[in-house]
Amino acid sequence: MIKLIATDIDGTILIPEGDFSESVKDCIKKVSECGIKVVLVTGRMNAAACLIAEDLGLTTPVISYQGGLVNDRGKYLYERYLTEEQAEKIIEWGKSENIHLNLYNDDILYSENDCYEVQRYSRNLHTRYVVKPFDEIKKDKINKLLAIDYDNPDRINKYEKELPNLFPELYIVKSTPYFLEFSNPEASKYCAVKFLQKYWGLKDDEILTIGDQNNDISLLKAGGIKIAMGNATEELKECADYITDTVYNDGFIAAVEEFCPQVKL
């Protein structure tokens, strides 16, 4: 019997650049009322992810920064950061490639320029940002760096394949066709879900994981029941036990109906 649903947000329960359907919000409420823990697992900032959890009425821990932070209502249960040296190496690479970087330190988003990339990013994700030269930022709790290229996603695909060889000490993952994320190797969705599994004493077959993008491959691998959305990447679908409907057709609800019969929808 499923006791934990670890779900991605964007493209899984949230329509891209849109909102939650009322049906999905109602489903999550009923799942929680049945005693199943629903945990949000996202690459978003902690502050933004916690606001979404609040909107959904969830009181469970929130996994943000691809797994770099597990926050239980203000108490950090799990934290994994980049070192300043690692961050500087990524920043230098970004300058050499002339690609925009978001830098996240202590749950604050920084951009060196008030440019199109950070403006579009913050608008779509309802996130505030600070414009400041990276060399003036105290890099003591670097959650991640994010490379963005809205105009040429093929470049993101190229970097996704090449950069693990250049930065073998980092966790590098494509989270959307336009985003490439750099973080601590233990800041993955897999690591964070496995932490909560041990924290709560759960078995593998009591965990359902669901997502839509390549950064959810590690999320699916953490579950006993692995579900890809109908709008998922082909790479993620290959890792799944089951492919549900798309986010536009409330595929999350279909997955709950299939694997959580105790929930009366």
pLDDT tier, 155 (very low <50, low <70, confident <90, very high otherwise): very high
Q: Which helix (H) or strand (E) holds 159?
A: helix 153-166
pLDDT at 119: 97
Alpha-carbon distances of 119 from 116, 132, 192, 241, 251, rounded to whole Å: 5, 14, 29, 38, 30
Complete domains list, the chain, with CATH: 4-79+187-259 (3.40.50.1000), 84-183 (3.30.1240.10)
With 80 as the cut, is the pLDDT of residue 231 above it?
yes
**Any bridge partners for residue 179, and if so which?**
148, 176
pLDDT at 17: 76
Separation of alpha carbons 193 and 65, rounded Å: 13
Kindly report, residue by residue over 20-31, the tens digit of the pLDDT.
999 999 999 999
Q: Exposed, middle or buried by CB within 10 Å (0-12, 13-18, 19+), for 30?
A: middle
Q: Exposed, middle or buried by CB within 10 Å (0-12, 13-18, 19+), for 224?
A: middle
With 90 as the cut, is the pLDDT of residue 265 above it?
no
Measured N-to-C along each axis, helices 22-33 and 251-259 cross at an angle, to the nearest 10 degrees, of: 30
- State what percent of residues in the chain have pLDDT above 90: 97
pLDDT at 126: 87
Kindly report, residue by residue over 7-20, the tens digit of the pLDDT.
999 999 999 878 89
pLDDT at 16: 87
pLDDT tier, 168 (very low <50, low <70, confident <90, very high otherwise): very high
pLDDT at 18: 82
SS3 of 35, please? Answer: coil
With 80 as the cut, is the pLDDT of residue 90 above it?
yes
pLDDT tier, 63 (very low <50, low <70, confident <90, very high otherwise): very high
- State what percent of residues in the chain have pLDDT above 70: 100
Kindly report, residue by residue over 209-220, the tens digit of the pLDDT.
999 999 999 999
SS3 of 235, please? Answer: helix
Q: Count how many Cα atoms sit within 13 Å of the Cα of residue 13 in the half-sphere of its side chain.
A: 28
Q: Count how many Cα atoms sit within 13 Å of the Cα of residue 161 in the half-sphere of its side chain.
A: 5
Question: Which distant-in-sequence residues (6+ apart) come within 8 Å of 20 by Cβ?
Answer: 13, 14, 55, 56
With 90 as the cut, is the pLDDT of residue 81 above it?
yes
User: Is residue 211 within 8 Å of 240, Cβ to Cβ?
Assistant: no
pLDDT tier, 143 (very low <50, low <70, confident <90, very high otherwise): very high
For the segment 68-85, the average pLDDT, to the nearest whole number, is 97
